[in-house]
Amino acid sequence: MRFHFQRTIASSQATLPVVGVIALGLWYLLPVPVNGGGDVCADYGLWHLMPSFLQEGYWTIGLSALGAVLGVYLMTELNNAYILLRVSSRMIGSTYALLVAITVVCHRFQPGSIVALLSLLSFFPLFVSYQLPNPRLSFMTHLLVSLASLVFPKMLFLVPIYWLLQGFLRAFSFRCFMASLLAVLLPYWFYGGLAFALGFWSDFATQVSAVFEVQWFDYSQLDGRHFFTFGFLVLLFLSGAIDFYHNRFLDKARIRTLYNVVILHGGSIMLTICLFPQFFSVLVHLLLIDTAIVFGHFFTLTHTLFSHIYNIVLLLFALVVVAAQYVLDASGFTFAPTGVPFHATTLIPL
């Protein structure tokens, strides 16, 4: 027996505009998280150059909302360009909009906002390189990752993951490897030269050394809110991944390969969050991208009684997740769009 609840939502051209309005409403209606004071640390690179007024009040809400809108646009274009769904649907972009809206940590302008956009952009040359080991595409992909590392240096940990993704796409060669190294070094070559010329070499050296200074399994800054949010995203991701592998024979070989890449990327992000939970507020932006793609595939293409009921349960669970972000340790929140500027050392509170 087939059900039309999901099919109607997934195929409707009105879904994305309606979800967009709901998401923007949540953006401005939900309480804004407050981040305590602290000194900006090298773990967030050039973020300390961001003017403080952009990190407080309505500025931080507006800029984070603008980043989310750009992310939804890029997600929709990614779906259109590479035909990630077998049917005409805007569900991947709609899913991303809704997930970002209910993940309240995304409502403040922070390094993760920039990292998410650059990571999304890196998917375009990466996907183009399917069975095409082109050094220029490899250079563009890793250049975007390197640019993201300027505000979050530990993004460079993902460079080997991107090499593995290129291998899955059969788009890796020695020339691509050398191009990727050049792309990773290029922003730091310019930054280092500028630092040397203007006399702030010590800041540059501190940022570079921060890449290799790691603290494993630092769960001291996490509380129930983070586990609720992370657990919900993992549930959505696994639901989509399991359904994809169960029905992957229905997709073409190219699409199967692209989804394998997205699932591997998402799995690596989940592992990174477990290893470095102190960077949850940045890394969750990346997990949202992969989750939206994989779960959007599940919602759009699976129409059974189980999926119908399951998605209703997930919708109720999403409401619980939103509530949990405020009920648990509510002292960390304010119900007005004001507060102290965002500081990198206190990035973790929602």
- If one counts every other C-beta atom within 10 angstroms of the C-beta of residue 47, the result is 21
Query: How much is the average pLDDT of 254-263?
Result: 97
From 43-52, 118-127, 243-252, the region with the lowest mean pLDDT: 43-52
| Class of residue 82 by CB neighbours under 10 A (exposed 0-12, middle 13-18, buried 19+) | middle
On whether the pTM is more than 0.85, the answer is yes
**What pLDDT score does 5 carry?**
77
Instruction: Please determine, for residue 347, whether its predicted confidence score (pLDDT) is greater than 90.
Output: no
* C-alpha span between 272 and 257 (Å, rounded): 23
pLDDT band at 273 (very low <50, low <70, confident <90, very high): very high
From 81-95, 245-259, 329-343, the region with the lowest mean pLDDT: 329-343
Instruction: Please determine, for residue 36, whether its predicted confidence score (pLDDT) is greater than 90.
Output: no
Q: What's the half-sphere exposure (Cβ side, CA atoms, 13 Å) at 238? A: 8
pLDDT tens digits along 158-179: 999 999 999 999 999 999 999 9
Asked if residue 186 lies in contact with residue 172, where contact means CB atoms within 8 angstroms, the answer is no
**What pLDDT score does 350 carry?**
39
* C-alpha span between 127 and 113 (Å, rounded): 22
Q: What is the amino acid identity at position 211? A: V
Q: What is the amino acid identity at position 216? A: W
Handedness of CA 174, 268, 260, 95 (dihedral sign): negative
Query: Which percentage of the chain shows pLDDT scores above 70?
Result: 89
Closest by Cα among 118, 89, 100 to 10: 89
Per-domain boundaries in the chain: 5-128+214-346
Instruction: Please determine, for residue 111, whether its predicted confidence score (pLDDT) is greater than 90.
Output: yes
Query: How much is the average pLDDT of 233-254?
Result: 95
In order, the DSSP letters of 194-261 are HHHHHT-HHHHHHHHHHHH---TT--TT--HHHHHHHHHHHHHHHHHHHHHHHSGGGS-HHHHHHHHH
Instruction: Report the Cα 187 to chain-centroid distance in Å.
Output: 22
* C-alpha span between 108 and 184 (Å, rounded): 28
Query: How much is the average pLDDT of 201-226?
Result: 84
> What angle (nearest 5°) sits at the alpha carbon of residue 43, between those of residues 38 and 45?
95
Query: Which percentage of the chain shows pLDDT scores above 90?
Result: 63
Q: What is the mean pLDDT of the chain?
A: 87
Query: How much is the average pLDDT of 53-69?
Result: 90
* C-alpha span between 66 and 20 (Å, rounded): 12
**What pLDDT score does 341 carry?**
42
From 81-95, 129-143, 332-346, the region with the lowest mean pLDDT: 332-346
**What pLDDT score does 339 carry?**
41
pLDDT tens digits along 324-340: 877 764 444 433 344 43
**What pLDDT score does 220 carry?**
82
